[in-house]
Amino acid sequence: MSDKPHPVFARIYERLSPGWEKDGQAELRARTLARLSGRVVEVGAGNGLNFGHYPAAVTEVVAVEPEPYLRERAAERAAEAPVPVSVVAGDADALPLADGEADAVVTSLVLCSVPDQASALAEARRVLKPGGELRFYEHVVSHKRGKAAFQRAFTKTVWKRVSGGCHMDRDTGRAIADAGFEITELDRVPFHGLAHILGVAHVADGYAPGMETSEQGHGDTEESGSPESNPQGPGDQRGGEESDTSGAPDTSSPNESDSGQATGNPGAAG
């Protein structure tokens, strides 16, 4: 059964999310999806706010969404999308594609909510073609110890219950690397006071299931502090406490320059 109803959360999300788009989230979505082409699977598409941002070179989007109310809203937005989008019921753990059928998998604001990130990311890897890419835009746990502690406590006690299973305290960049992806482009941007990561990952060379290790790719944690946000990127205009964090560059961003700026920006060349 792929339906996961969260009727209250879904209605609140549909009501509030268009306002967040105007606050700058639309631009972050566009950056996340820039330069995509071919067949794309969007995991947990919600109410379809990404659809308007897919480039014309995308030939098909299979948008998987388990929440029935959000799925209906997504189907409405799919009808207006600039590229063909089919909205289907489904789950991150069981995507409706055969092995290696997708040019890209997109997760936006969804790896915070899936019950098991490793399982969802393994499924993303399964459906990707060799050389295919994962595009992600996700909020992540703070680099600031105090704030991270608050996020852990708040997630456990209140937030998860009222937010459709969302976790504020996940280190999603590490989860992506641990799942056998190499993160090739990464930006860290604040939005509404929460740290977000957006970027591109590819299945790591030589990766085979079972090789997962927390050492892989990401050699750093939030605690070291790391301003990865691109000074030219929209995140910096959005303020938020995360932007003034200082410290060593995060090795979770393999292409970062010495300035701490990610060299890759999925939208910059789009």
Residue choice 14, 36, 41, 44 for contact with ligand SAM (CB under 6 A)? 44
Asked if 63 is part of the footprint of ligand SAM (rule: CB under 6 A), the reply reads: no
| Site membership for ligand SAM, residue 30 (CB under 6 A) | no
Q: Is residue 109 a contact point for ligand SAM (CB under 6 A)?
A: yes
Query: How far apart are CB 93 and ligand SAM at their closest, in Å?
Result: 6
Phi, psi of 169 (to 5 degrees): -110, 25
Angle of helix 68-80 versus helix 7-20 axis, rounded to 10: 40
User: How far apart, in whole angstroms, are the C-alpha atoms of residue 130 and residue 103?
Assistant: 8
State in angstroms the smallest separation of the CB of 115 from ligand SAM. 6
**Least distance CB 260 / ligand SAM (angstroms):** 26
Phi/psi at 8 (5° precision): -70, -50
**Residue 49 in the binding site for ligand SAM (CB under 6 A):** yes
Which CB sits closer to ligand SAM, 54 or 225? 54
| 44/249 with CB nearer ligand SAM | 44
Go through 35-51 and write b for each residue having 16 or more CB atoms within 10 A of its CB, e for each that does not. Answer: bbeebbbbbbbbbbbbb
State which of residues 54, 61, 85, 91 lies at the interface with ligand SAM (CB under 6 A): 91
Which span (55-63, 66-74, 122-130, 182-190) binds ligand SAM, by CB under 6 A? 66-74
Does 234 bind ligand SAM (CB under 6 A)? Our answer is: no
Closer residue to ligand SAM, CB minimum distance, 74 or 148? 74
Q: For residues 110 and 203, which CB has a smaller minimum distance to ligand SAM in the complex? A: 110
Binding mask 158-197 for ligand SAM (x = CB under 6 A): ------xx--------------------------------
Radius of gyration of the chain (CA): 17
If one asks whether residue 105 binds ligand SAM (CB under 6 A), the answer comes out as no
Return the residue of 46, 173, 225, 235 that touches ligand SAM, per CB under 6 A: 46
- What residues line the site for ligand SAM (CB under 6 A)? 4, 43-46, 49-50, 65-67, 70, 91-92, 108-110, 113-115, 164-165
